[in-house]
Amino acid sequence: MEREYIMELLKGIVAPVLVLGMGLVVSWGYKAVISVVRPPPPKICGSLEGPPITAPRVKLRDGRYLAYEEFGVPKQQANYNIIFIHGFSSSRHGPSILSTDLSPPWRVYNACGQDIIEELGVHIVGFDKPGYGESDPDPNQTVKSLALDIEELADHLGLGSKFYPKEDQWALRVAYYIPWLTYWWNTQTWFPSSTVISGNPINISAQDHQILNNSLSKMTPEKEKHKQQVAQQGQFESFHRAMMVGFGKWEFDPMDLKNPFPNNEGRVHLWQGEEDKLVPLELQRYIVDKLPWIHYHELPGAGHFFINAHGMGQAILNQFLIHN
């Protein structure tokens, strides 16, 4: 009788303990998975544990700050104002991080050696996109919100009136269908991550190899500092957020875009390297076929980083400011 009583007592204790144990295991497993999948919080510039604020910044409509840097002639003397929108792994310092020259590629000269920036009166503003450099992250960022950020920046500064490399297909599907998994997908090592984030040299052209090698050979302490600042607030709010916005679901169909200059008061130009292995040639040809008002420039032998090739800065500025 006593033995039966003890057995019943043990059953009453063991069953809840097993349930509790299983619950703890499930809870621990869930937390473990979430800790791997969920990105770490960003290190906001100016916060207690974040990087320092060293750049001028403007306060936007929602309270975020956007960092910027100005180049060229003073704004008050400018005939042309250009807002430079940096690429995937760059910042407000623009492509000077990868430049083949010691000076930025927009610092170009005419046949007489005179600085074209000064000759034409060009003022250039580079800015950190949200989450990059010293600009606050925007967890609600979209293609439209970025355009509004640029508009606000221009107003604050008074600038005037108002298909992919095979392995990237995996990462871009993740960005489109399950945005919250993007951080995990691009930080784990089991499956292919994005070519751009991983810096995989297999998927860049011969010209890109040469440009990057030249850049490394001419890397200065200042350029190295700029390079380190790009994702200093965390890769998720810079690189991975850019993937989610760029390759996620947009609020509009780009093929529905209308010519913003119907009276020829301006032009839209698109440059594409013929050997660009990050942005496919077929995609750009398809776009300009559907939007014939775009002035398309296809560059033989050029890769993705052709902006840093010798003479390209001058060619692009000439096309924008003189031929227009």
Residue by residue, pLDDT tens for the chain (324 residues) are 555 544 554 455 444 555 555 554 544 444 444 444 577 888 899 999 899 999 999 999 999 999 999 988 898 988 888 888 887 778 898 745 333 343 444 455 444 334 677 888 888 888 999 999 999 999 888 888 888 898 899 889 988 764 444 444 444 444 444 444 444 444 445 445 455 555 565 667 888 888 888 877 777 788 788 888 887 888 878 777 877 777 777 777 888 888 888 888 778 888 999 998 877 888 889 888 998 988 999 999 998 888 888 878 778 877 877 766
Whether 33 maps to a domain, the answer reads no
So what's the pLDDT on residue 164?
A: 41
**Total domain count, the chain:** 1
Whether 271 maps to a domain, the answer reads yes
Q: What is the largest CA-CA distance in the chain?
A: 110
Whether 42 maps to a domain, the answer reads no
Whether 5 maps to a domain, the answer reads no
Task: Write the CB contacts of 55 (distance below 8 Å, at least 6 apart in sequence).
Answer: 67, 68, 69, 92, 128, 133, 134
* CATH number of the domain bearing residue 217: 3.40.50.1820
Whether 123 maps to a domain, the answer reads yes
What's the token pair of residue 181? 């998994």
Full-model pTM: 0.70
So what's the pLDDT on residue 172?
A: 47
User: What is the C-alpha to C-alpha distance for residues 166 and 239, in angstroms, rounded to an integer?
Assistant: 19
Whether 23 maps to a domain, the answer reads no
So what's the pLDDT on residue 35?
A: 44
User: What is the C-alpha to C-alpha distance for residues 167 and 193, in angstroms, rounded to an integer?
Assistant: 7
So what's the pLDDT on residue 200?
A: 60
The 8 Å CB, 24+ separation contacts for 253-260 are 254/287, 255/287, 255/290, 255/291, 257/291, 259/293
* Alpha-carbon distance values, 126 to 67, 71, 90, 147, 162 (Å): 9, 8, 11, 14, 18
Whether 164 maps to a domain, the answer reads yes
Whether 18 maps to a domain, the answer reads no
The parent domain of residue 62 ranges over 57-323
* Residue 192: other Cβ atoms inside 10 A: 17
Q: At 77, which amino acid appears?
A: Q
